[in-house]
Amino acid sequence: MVRMNSGTATRVMTAAFALTALVGLSACSSGDSGTSDDSSENATACTDFETTYDQFTALVKAGPADTDVQTWTDAKTAEMQKFQPLADTATGDVESSLSTLIGALPADSLELTEPDSSSGQAFVDNSTAVVDACTAAGTAITLDEFPLVKFN
C-alpha cells in the first residue's frame, strides 16, 4: 500500500477533479447543439412547402378547364393533402406556423376559392406566416400569388 501525505493526496484529488471537469466540458463543447439539424429540417420543410404551395396555387389558377369540376376538386384536394406531413418535418416557429396553416385548411378545397372566402384569406395569411418563419429560420422562400376572389 502506498502512503501519501495530506498535501500529495489533495493535489491528486484536485488533478482528478480538474481532469473530470475538463473531459466533461470538452464533451459539451464538441457536441452538436442541434441547430444545424433544426436548420436543415426547417430548410427542407420550407422548400417543400414552397413547392407544394406553388403547385396547389397553379392548380387553383388553372381552374377546371376542359375537365369537370369534380375532377378538378379531387385534384385540388389531393394536392392540398400534401401540406399535412410538412409540419412533422419542421421545428420551432416553422413547425408552429405550418401547423396553424394545416389546422385551418377546410375539408372542401372549393371553400378556398369562393368569393370573399374567409378560409381562402386565412390560407393566404397563414402562408405568409410560414414564409416569415422560414425567413427567420434562414430559408427565404417566395410564393406565387394565390387567387383570392373578391366582391367589389
CA distance 128 to 123: 9
Alpha-carbon radius of gyration of the chain: 27
For residue 16, is pLDDT > 50? no
Q: What is the pTM of this model?
A: 0.73
Amino acid letter, 105: L
Percent of the chain exceeding pLDDT 70 equals 74
Mean pLDDT of the chain: 80
pLDDT recorded at residue 95: 97
CA distance 59 to 72: 8
CA distance 2 to 50: 71
Cell numbers at residue 70, please?
A: 369534380
Length of the chain: 152
For residue 76, is pLDDT > 60? yes
CA distance 152 to 150: 6
Residues 6+ away with beta carbon under 8 Å from 131: 141, 142, 143
